[in-house]
Structure 1
Amino acid sequence: MDSILKSLYDHFYRTPDNTPQEERIKANHQLLSQRLSSRNRKLVLRIMDDKDLICSDVSLDSFICGFRLAWHIANQIQNFDGLFGLQPKS
């Protein structure tokens, strides 16, 4: 089931255009790159890659949780037989 949800996520998710936060990250990364040694730049890149991976994993998990919640609610609505089991008046 998770592979189906991953396929749905990949199909429907659209990466947002550069946000102000993304622009700040790029600018700060550039400043750090200018001031750090080669070894430290590599470390910063690994940290950024790990951060991006975490964000991607959280985004996918959020999509899957939301989809499962919607599926559960849809099933509850489909099986709902009126308030307190009373049928609506005709």
Structure 2
Amino acid sequence: MNPNVKSPISQDKEFYSEREAALSMGISLARLHLLLDEYVFNDGLSRPENIELTASDLLLLEFWNKVLPTQKVVAMPKRNK
């Protein structure tokens, strides 16, 4: 199976392994680990060896996967003096 082909997220499935999550998102396992390390496990503690993800987790990870580094900062409106 081509690792870049997305598999649909099943609403019947409660948890996804890291491999299943990466496959459903169409990304490599290394990219998934990078996203997890950058956005989830960023409090100084290391990422657990094996984690299970929910469909909601995959939704957030897909969003973060599409965000460019420059899009992390939201420009604030100018203050009226």
TM-score normalised by the chain length of structure 2: 0.24
**Greater relative contact order, per chain length (Cα 8 Å cut-off, separation 6+):** 1
- Higher strand content, 1 or 2: 2
Q: Which has the larger radius of gyration?
A: 1
- Higher helix content, 1 or 2: 1
